[in-house]
Amino acid sequence: MKAVIFDLDGVLCTTDKYHYYAWKNIADGLGIYFDEEINNRLRGVSRMESLNIILECGKLEVSEEEKLELAKRKNKIYRRLLENLTPRDISEGAVETIDKLRAAGLKLAVGSSSKNTPFILERLGLANYFDAISDGNNISRSKPYPEVFLKAAQMLGLESGECLVVEDALSGVVAAHEAGMLCACVGDAAKAGAGDYNMRSISELLDIVLKRGE
């Protein structure tokens, strides 16, 4: 194992509440019922795919032009809410784990479907922690397609089998496995037993990586 590729939202930080508030604003404006259970279905997928799920819930059809405008409006609301992020919002144990992984000689990357990844990392003070960032700005197909992780490995100059993905969403686990990578999970994916390693916290990651290296 030569590298660890981290999903962003739900792994290094949690912005679910901001996504929820932004999407609920859009759904309410369309007269579509939206709650936290529906919001959970949007985790790990792209903005446009999320919008399609909401429109399907409301059995509402709109033009492609209207979809683009709705997605743009949602992102404006979400970005405004992200201004509240600070380094205090980093997941517990994440910085210490990242530091120890780097000290152990591993390369580190972020693999996220979000186009807001650079902004979020900047707000968290993590912008300079990673050797590569693969996100919604450089992929054409979001998770569960493996592109985001394959590009991260390419940026690191490594083969898929040399990379371990850290995920919290089932769509991300599917993407990792499709990319030919092992996956260590936290959150909902870990509770579902979806990963090759299922962790209670990100702090367990170092033990997993070191044990594989023994």
The catalytic residue positions are 7, 9
Identify whether the C-beta of residue 96 lies closer than 8 Å to the C-beta of residue 117.
no
Residue 25: strand pairing partners: none
In the block, residue with structure tokens 């479907």? 113
d(CA 8, CA 142): 14
- Where b means 16+ CB within 10 Å and e means fewer, 27-44 reads beeeebebeeebbeebbb
Neighbours of 1 (CB within 10 A): 18
